Amino acid sequence: MPSQKYLLTSITNAMKILNLYKTSKSKELSVTDISSQVNLPKSTAHRLITTLRREGFLSQNPRNGKYRLGLSLLTLGGVISVHKEIYRDTFPFVEQLVRKLDETCQICLLEEEHLVFYYRVHRNEPENLETNEGRKGPIHCTSSGLVLLAYQDLAFKEQVLSNPLRRYTPYTVTDPDKLLARLQSIEKEGFAFCEGEYYKGFSSVAVPIRDYSSNVVSSLTMISPTKRIKEKDLFFYVNHLKETASDISEELGFYGDL
């Protein structure tokens, strides 16, 4: 009984810590901030924070040592509202990229076995596509989905590819073996390119975004009519996307080579 009571108390205190971020004016809190606001000894607060960080519910900013909400909260729903706070400082990078390329760009996330269109910046004269923020999309025929899937473990890849894969256009690849080989190539080259596989006449290019843990947690994608992409060298877009993804990854705490 004492151990059960201790466990319930720990769970309650952990939930209190997470709930702090609902009302806090700052998206990042120190151990001292958390311990005082939850009314816990600093040692207890630090132990709970360490556990929450290990499970991905909190992440630490290596620049100042403070803690923010982590990416494991994706699995609890509310993907858009929670991650607006995590990614907010990265939005200007996407806006700058759109001005540079004059093409629509977006950040996408993985939620279980679905792609989530998370944050989008349109070009001046955007095309009408049904991929609004918060909408879910397929993994197997979008550059965003493929680049995210490429960096997951093999078991997850095989699980996704074992599901029935819908053919959206005549160009959609649905053969699991071909897709698995394609994922290996994407991981090696660091980008994915889809030509008319989700929307006929439209193509997209995506690159990975990493966080403090060096894991690929999202993708940066450019989408455009295929004929417009072909007017320039594909690697013109890839290089600009990789530069911006590197800036975003650094903002999320990653300090390495993408």
Model confidence pLDDT, tens digit, residues 185-232: 999 999 999 999 999 999 999 999 998 778 898 999 999 999 888 878
- Return the pLDDT at 3: 55
Query: Over the range 205-243, which residues count as b (16 or more CB within 10 Å of their CB) and which as e?
Result: bbbbbbbbeeebbbbbbbbbebeebeeeeeeebbebbbe
Region of poorest pLDDT, from 59-68, 101-110, 122-131, 182-191: 122-131
pLDDT, tens digit, for every residue of 131-164? 555 578 899 999 999 999 999 989 889 999 999 9
The two structure tokens encoding residue 246: 């590197």
The residue with greater pLDDT, 52 or 89, is 52
pLDDT for residue 74 is more than 60: no
- Return the pLDDT at 133: 57
Q: Mean pLDDT over all residues of the chain?
A: 85
Task: Please state the length of the chain.
Answer: 258
CB 79 within 8 A of CB 109: yes
pLDDT for residue 41 is more than 80: yes
pLDDT for residue 19 is more than 90: no
pTM above 0.75, yes or no: no
CB 113 within 8 A of CB 89: no
The two structure tokens encoding residue 36: 């005082």
The residue with greater pLDDT, 157 or 81, is 157
